[in-house]
Structure 1
Amino acid sequence: MSRNTTDSEAILRGVLDRWRAAVDAHEPQHVAACFTEDAIFQGLRPYSVGRQGVVDYYASQPAGMTAAYRIRETRRLADDLVLGYLSVDFSFTDRPTVGVHLGVVVKRTADGWYVSHYQVSRLD
């Protein structure tokens, strides 16, 4: 594994571990704090732009939902941009787990790394 790949995975994990912790704790405001102010967000419903759309999406998710992710591929697009392709399992207390594929672009800002693009797809 190249240093570039290792660095890219570390950057993704830094952002996605914060995201996962907030999802697992059912804290939509903290989930949204992992995103840029102008993030493009596509969950399993129509897309939104900005943090409020992220808040609204995760506020509508049931309490007890948790996320487990696995990084499948990374690409360093520029010094301040990392692309990630992941598998994510969203588990629930009252229904089967939902497996999705997630593409993210994380961007370095003056305050750190944040998700600027989030695109979920289901292949079933």
Structure 2
Amino acid sequence: MSADPTDVANNPMREVVSRWKAAFDGHRPDEMAALFTPDALFQGFGPETTAGREQVRAYYEAVAEGRWADVGEIRGYRIGDEVAGGFADIVFRDAAGWAAPVHLSLVLQREGDGWLIRAYHVSRILADH
């Protein structure tokens, strides 16, 4: 029998994505960086993979204010008590009508009583692909 994907205890993706969305929508790069492990791997829209909280903070600092993320379906998994992850369907938007649908994949690591992002990757969804 598989775990209920809506159960936060068994699917920490929901809780982490909720905190990530709040930080993104509020354009709070320091809060965003705190969601990641100190040596997290990060692949955003840019061509390079980076690592570390400072790189994550700088990436989100450069995101234009006034953008938000609409979160769709979230699917998660657990590997024991210390590792989890999954996928989320996200559409980044702004008031001018810009929209960028992506698949977001995360690897999560338990830190104390909570979860941090260990690896982050977005894949842009192209209509003609």
TM over 0.5: yes
Paired residues for 1:13-24 under 5 Å: 13-24=14-25
Identity %: 35
Number of the residue aligned with 1:74:
76
The CA RMSD over aligned residues, in Å, is 1.7
Deviation (angstroms), 1:87: 0.6
TM-score, structure 1 normalization: 0.89
Displacement of 1:84: 0.8
Q: Could you say what secondary structure the match of 2:10 adopts?
A: helix
Q: Which residue of 1 aligns with 2:37?
A: 36
Maintained 8 Å contact 1:66/1:90: yes
Cα displacement (A) at 1:72: 3.9
CA distance in 1, matches of 2:70, 2:118: 20
- 2:31 partner amino acid: H
TM-score by length of 2: 0.86
Give, in whole Å, the separation in 2 of the partners of 1:38 and 1:4.
30
Counterpart AA for 1:2: S
The answer for the alignment partner of 2:120 in structure 1 is 118
Structure 1 residue 79: deviation in Å?
Answer: 1.4
Query: In structure 1, the residue corresponding to 2:32 is in which secondary structure?
Result: helix
1:108 to 104, 110, 113: 110
* Structure-2 change in CA distance of 1:32 and 1:86 (3 Å): same
Aligned residues: 123
Distance 1:71 1:107, change over 3 A: farther
Equivalent residue, structure 1, for 2:3: 3
Distance 2:2 2:113 in 1: 27
Q: 1:99 aligns with which of 98, 101, 121?
A: 101
Aligned counterpart, 1:27: 28
Higher-helix-fraction structure = 1
Q: Which residue of 1 aligns with 2:90?
A: 88
Report Cα offsets for 1:8-51 as digits up to 9, x if no partner: 33x11211111110111101010111111111010011111010
Flag structure 1 segments of 5+ consecutive residues without an equivalent: none
8 Å Cα contact 2:100-2:125 kept in structure 1: no
Letter in 1 for 2:20: W
